[in-house]
Amino acid sequence: MKNLRLFPARCALFLLAGTVVWSAPVMAGMQWKWRDAGGNIQYSDRPPPAGTPDSAILSKPSVSRSTPRPAEVAASAASAAVVASTPAKQPESDLDVKRRKAEEERLAKQKADEEKQAKTRADNCTRARGYLKTLNDGIRIARTNAAGEREVLDDKGRAEETQRTQEMVQANCK
C-alpha cells in the first residue's frame, strides 16, 4: 500500500530526470568550442571571431546550422566591430571600490567639519553682536582681573573692548 502512494511522486521524479538527461546533449550540441589567442578555451553559441584558424576550433554545433552563412559572418563581424568601438564599462576592482569609498568618506568628513565651523562662526557672530550692542548702549561692564578682583571698564577699556568686538564681528559675520 505504501508503494502505491509513492508511485506518482516517483513517476514525476523519473520524468523530470529523463527530461534533464535528454535535453543536456541537445543544449551542449549547440555550443561552439575553440581555443583563443591566449590559449584559453572559449564556449559560445556563436561562431568564433573571424581569423580563428580551423585547428583552434575544438567543436562545432551539431545542429543543421553548423556552418555559418557569409551574411551571418559579416553581421557578427559588424556587431563585433560596434561592440569593440563602444567603450565597455569594466567592473570595478576591490581596490577601486575601497578608494572610492575612502574618498566619499573623506568628502563627507570634510563637509561635516565645514558645517560645524559654519555653525560655530554663526554662534560667535550672534554673541559678538550682542556684546557689541551692550558696549554701545553704555551699560556698565565689569570683569574679573588676574588677581581675582572685580574691575569696571573705563572709557579707554570700553574703546579697546569695542574695537576687539568689532573685529570679531567682521571675522565671524560674513
User: Is 90 exceeded by the pLDDT of residue 130?
Assistant: yes
Distance, CA of 95 to CA of 101 (rounded, Å):
10
| 168 within domain boundaries | yes
- Element at 155 (helix H, strand E): helix 155-172
| 67 within domain boundaries | no
| 17 within domain boundaries | no
Q: How many domains does the chain have?
A: 2
Show the domain range for 141: 107-172
| 135 within domain boundaries | yes
| 132 within domain boundaries | yes
* Burial classification of residue 165, based on how many CB atoms lie within 10 Å of its CB (0-12 exposed, 13-18 middle, 19 or more buried): buried
**pLDDT (0 to 100) of residue 65:** 47
| 48 within domain boundaries | yes
Distance, CA of 108 to CA of 114 (rounded, Å):
10
| 79 within domain boundaries | no
Q: Give pLDDT tens digits for 32-78.
A: 888 988 889 888 888 888 888 888 888 888 754 445 555 555 555 55
State the amino acid at position 82 in one-letter form: V
**Looking at residues 77-92, what average pLDDT do you find?**
58
| C-alpha distances in Å from residue 10, one per residue of 2, 5, 14, 22, 117 | 12, 10, 6, 18, 74
Q: Which of 5, 40, 61 is the last residue of a domain?
A: 61
| 137 within domain boundaries | yes
End-to-end CA distance of the chain: 92
Distance, CA of 134 to CA of 153 (rounded, Å):
13
SS3 131: helix
Q: What cell does 148 get?
A: 581675582
Range list of β-strands (E), 62-139: none
Q: What is the DSSP letter of 15?
A: H
Distance, CA of 19 to CA of 57 (rounded, Å):
30
The neighbouring-strand residues paired with 59 are 33
**Looking at residues 168-174, what average pLDDT do you find?**
89
**pLDDT (0 to 100) of residue 110:** 96
